Amino acid sequence: MAYVESKSDCAGSLVMKHLNAMQDQDRHSLMANIIGIVALMGTAPTFELSKLFAEYLGDQMLAVVCRHYEDINLLESYDENGKLNPNFALHMFTRELGQSINDRYLVLCIEEIRVCEADKDVEGKLLFPHPTLPDGSTPAGFLGYAVNMINIEDDHWDTKTASGCGLRETLFYRLFGETQVYETRKDMKRAMSCIKDRAVSMDGGILRGNGAITLGCLEPDVIFPIEPARNRLSENDMRVMKRCRELKLELKETIRELVGKRKSHKSDLERFYERRDLYVRFFVRLSSVGSKKFRSLDSL
């Protein structure tokens, strides 16, 4: 965090300084929906992965993270002519520090991000199928998906959208998508046929997808903090979450069966009404014929 804050020309750095300089009451009332910056939202289990992911994300590492589009008004304001108001919010704060923001910067709003709809395991990792080669095997050197290799930072473990979605299926899925991670460039190249999105390799390969690949070498200034992966849940918590997942699957199956039964019931009911109407019309005609016969007998 100290290194991020030291980048005086960075909007993300100034946002962090602004949050830290505010009193707790002001922070919760005015800036509660400004969550922070990407680089401090998660951690990486190793330096190699942290450096690789930082190279892959580039300037997005210093993107400001907030909740809604409306929260952008806490960062900037414009006049009727569309010109930036330098006497408002973040720009006013930076001027007080003797600094300025002279470039554009990225803001990511988690409530507006299209949520990944993949199922999750008991630890909240997204359950993507392993890539498969034409012969059905998993490519050699495949290590997993980047979005699952980032550990959500402790302070943001409970940061969720209004619908209960966490940072992995919103923010980090927005950043990484289904980017695959391989051991080497050679492994990544051999797996090209089953890389549907993007891929990176531990020796620095970055495949952007759709015909794009990043070459060269870079030592990123800002990387994710290093923290070895650990199990955040007790065995009992994991059992409870596993049982909840099983019950959710059972509920989904029950609902599917119920929908089928309702459709079948509706179809059977329609056939019943059709046959009932036929019988009613038949007995009405029969009754009418019988009445005519009785009247004929009475006239004799």
DSSP one-letter code for 166? B
Contacts of 225 (CB under 8 A, 6+ apart): 40, 43, 44, 50, 153
Same domain, 49 and 160: yes
- Give the number of domains in the chain: 2
* Between 288 and 147, the higher pLDDT residue: 147
Higher pLDDT among residues 233 and 123, named by residue? 123
- 223 within domain boundaries: no
Residues 36, 42: contact at Cβ < 8 Å?
Answer: no
159 lies in the same domain as 264: no
pLDDT for res 13: 65
Residue 169, pLDDT > 80, answer yes
138 plus 243 within the same structural domain: no
pLDDT the model gives residue 216: 76
**Domain encompassing residue 193:** 2-214
Q: Give the H/E segment covering residue 28.
A: helix 24-30
Stretch 30-56: mean pLDDT: 86
97 & 186 share domain: yes
Do 292 and 184 lie in one domain? The reply is: no
Flag whether the pTM goes above 0.85.
Answer: no
What is the per-residue pLDDT for 282?
A: 76
Find out whether 208 and 57 touch, Cβ atoms under 8 Å: no
Q: What is the mean pLDDT of residues 164-171?
A: 93
Inter-CA distances, 209 with 48, 58, 201, Å: 22, 16, 14
- Residue 233 predicted with pLDDT over 80: no
Q: Which of 39-43, 160-164, 279-283 has the lowest mean pLDDT?
A: 279-283
262 pLDDT higher than 90: no
Residues 66-80: tens digit of each pLDDT: 888 887 777 766 656
Which range, of 3-12, 182-191, 268-277, averages the lowest pLDDT?
3-12
Residue 208 lies in a domain: yes
Q: Collapsing DSSP states into helix, strand and coil, what is residue 35?
A: strand
Using alpha carbons only, give the angle 241, 113, 79 rounded to the nearest 5 degrees: 145
Quote the pLDDT of residue 11: 65
Q: Is the pLDDT of residue 8 over 60?
A: no
Q: Same structural domain for residues 156 and 78? A: yes
Name the one residue in this structure whose structure tokens are 């927005």: 174
pLDDT of residue 44: 93
Q: Is residue 230 left, alpha or beta, with left meaning phi > 0 and alpha meaning psi from -120 to 50?
A: beta
Q: Mean pLDDT over all residues of the chain?
A: 79
Confidence of residue 25 (pLDDT cuts 50, 70, 90): very low
On whether residue 229 sits in a domain, the answer given is no
Residue 145's pLDDT band, with cuts at 50, 70 and 90, is: very high
For residues 131 and 242, the model is more confident at 131
Q: What is the pLDDT of residue 234?
A: 59
Same structural domain, 207 and 239: no
Better-predicted residue by pLDDT, 82 or 209: 209
Question: Which of residues 196 and 176 earns the better pLDDT score?
Answer: 176
At 237, the pLDDT band (50, 70, 90 cuts) reads: low
In a domain, 267, yes or no: yes
Integer Cα distance of 156 and 160 in angstroms: 8
106 vs 228, residue with greater confidence: 106
Residue 138 shares a structural domain with residue 266: no
Residue 87 pLDDT: 56
Residue 109 has pLDDT above 70, yes or no: yes
Last residue in a domain, options 151, 182, 214? 214
Confidence at residue 179, expressed as pLDDT on a 0 to 100 scale:
95
203, 247: one domain? no
Same domain, 268 and 201: no
- Minimum mean pLDDT among 69-83, 84-98, 207-221, 263-277: which range? 84-98
